[in-house]
Amino acid sequence: MTAYFPAPGDAWEKIEPQSAGLDPSRLDEAVAFAIEAESPMNRNIQEALDEGHFSEPPPLGDIIGPTRDRGDPHGLVIKGGRIVAEWGDPSSVDMTFSAAKSYLSICAGLAHDEGLIPDFDAPIADLVDDGGFEPPHNSQITWRHLLQQTSEWEGELWSKPDMIDRNRVLGAKPGADVTKGTFRALQTPGTFWEYNDVRVNRLALALLRVWRRPLPEVIRERVMDPIGCSDTWEWHGYRNSWVEIDGEQMQSVSGGAHWGGGIFINSFDHARVGLLMLNRGRWGDRQILSEDYVNQALTPCPLQKDYGFMWWLNTGNTHAPSAPESSFFARGVGVNWVWCEPDNDMVAVVRWIDGDRTDGFCKRLMAAVT
């Protein structure tokens, strides 16, 4: 089957499952499972966050970015670039939480391709002088450290101290007996992996400093418009995340919706970005992202083998046991999932599925591959 990339707009070619090498009944089972396994997350996202979804007491847990209620589960499956299944309302523009981190990674990749960040292993302090990367500790931090979540950056940003996400245990439920937000002695940058949204937001600000343009403007011009995304997606920061650059006020965006904000996007646009990454940064006859960036983004972090440059990997089948090891993912709370599956040339976008049941969807979709 020849490579296919959808044109802008709604005329995205669809194909019957059999023609794409998928068993229709088993594909239907995967779709039915995605609908039945709905996320338990409160549909009123503001309430979910206010009620402590991330287990943070006020005032540190105060929501400082916009939120939007969610609807029913929705998504789609792409095979060979063509739609083979969709459910719910994939045009719904929803919050996507930490899937935004993968978009932040793309902004870093674009800066590297442009020469604005010549070396991911260089100290950020070489390019960013805003008080956030001072010696002796923070001056050691490189772009790779922040992209792989091994930076151990110390400080406060947008009223949130890095301590709020120290000792964070991914997957912990509200009220669980964990020590998130408690003191942990910092390690040398590059020697300890920790999922920390304050540090992710510090990367977003550093990228803004380098680009000297709002990141939504950069990614719209360089990626979203060239691959035909809609004009409905939004990328927000916080009410207090404005900085002055070259005499203009610009908002530094968030790499998730931990305290509100982040990327609000529909499933079709997510699928286009997934298709771009699946094709190693190429869209038709145009190389949008360099293969060098894609290769680095999908290389396992030595300290966390299922994590790259803010893309989740399936090294050792640890992230999704039923998915091929070559799979990689943009993933956020909710759960919002963009699953790229190179072995079978597939992309699946799954919105508002129970996080404990995502592998059940993988198992059923893989069973449909003939």
Q: How far is CA 84 from CA 16, 23, 267, 358, 365, in A?
A: 6, 11, 14, 19, 12
What Å distances lie between residue 148 and 61, 177, 209, 251, 304, CA to CA?
Answer: 24, 26, 20, 24, 8
Q: Please report whether residue 89 resides in a domain.
A: no
pLDDT tier at 54, thresholds 50, 70, 90: confident
164 within some domain? yes
- Quick one: average pLDDT of 8-17? 95
Asked if residue 196 lies in contact with residue 156, where contact means CB atoms within 8 angstroms, the answer is no
**Segment 21-50 mean pLDDT:** 97
Q: Is the pLDDT of residue 7 over 90?
A: yes
Closest C-alpha to 230, from 47, 103, 91:
91
Give me the domain span that covers residue 129: 102-108+117-253
Reported as half-sphere exposure (CB side, CA atoms, 13 A), residue 291 has a value of 4
- Give the pLDDT score at 1: 62
* pLDDT score for 204: 98
Mean pLDDT, the chain, rounded, equals 95
Is there a domain that residue 266 lies in? no
Residue with tokens 């982040």: 262
**Higher pLDDT among residues 175 and 184, named by residue:** 184
- Rounded CA separation 165/317 (Å): 26
What is the per-residue pLDDT for 178? 58
Q: Is 123 helix (H, G, I), strand (E, B) or coil?
A: strand
Angle at 240 between CA 234 and CA 243, to 5 degrees: 85
Summarize pLDDT for 87-133 with one digit per residue, the tens.
Answer: 999 999 999 999 999 999 999 999 999 999 999 999 999 999 999 99
DSSP-assigned beta bridge partners for residue 293: none
Across the range 218-226, mean pLDDT stands at: 98
Asked whether the bond before 369 is cis by omega within 30 degrees of 0, the reply is no
The predicted model gives 317-334 an average pLDDT of 97
Q: How many domains does the chain have?
A: 1
- The CA-to-CA distance between both ends of the chain, in Å, stands at 15
Closest CA to 311 of 325, 334, 326, 330: 330
Within-domain flag for 142: yes
Residue 6's pLDDT is what?
98
In a domain, 143, yes or no: yes
Question: What is the H or E stretch that residue 114 is in?
Answer: helix 100-114
The DSSP code for 155 is S
pLDDT at 43: 97
Share of the chain above pLDDT 70, in %: 97
Average pLDDT over residues 301-329: 97
Does 172 have pLDDT greater than 50?
Answer: no
Which secondary-structure segment (H or E) carries 209?
helix 197-211
pLDDT tens for 357-366 read 999 999 999 9
- Assigned domain for 130 exists: yes
| Position with higher pLDDT, 174 vs 70 | 70
Q: Decide if pLDDT at 57 tops 90.
A: no
* Pair 78, 277: CB distance under 8 Å: no
Under 8 Å CB-to-CB from 356, ≥6 apart: which residues?
none
Taking alpha carbons only, the member of 80, 78, 46, 38 closest to residue 269 is: 78
Residue 330 in domain: no
Could you tell me if residue 212 is inside a domain?
Answer: yes
Calculate the alpha carbon distances from 230 to 93, 208, 243, 343 in Å: 10, 23, 28, 28
- Residue 181 is predicted with a pLDDT of 87
Q: Which two tokens stand for residue 39?
A: 């996320």
CATH number for position 212: 3.40.710.10
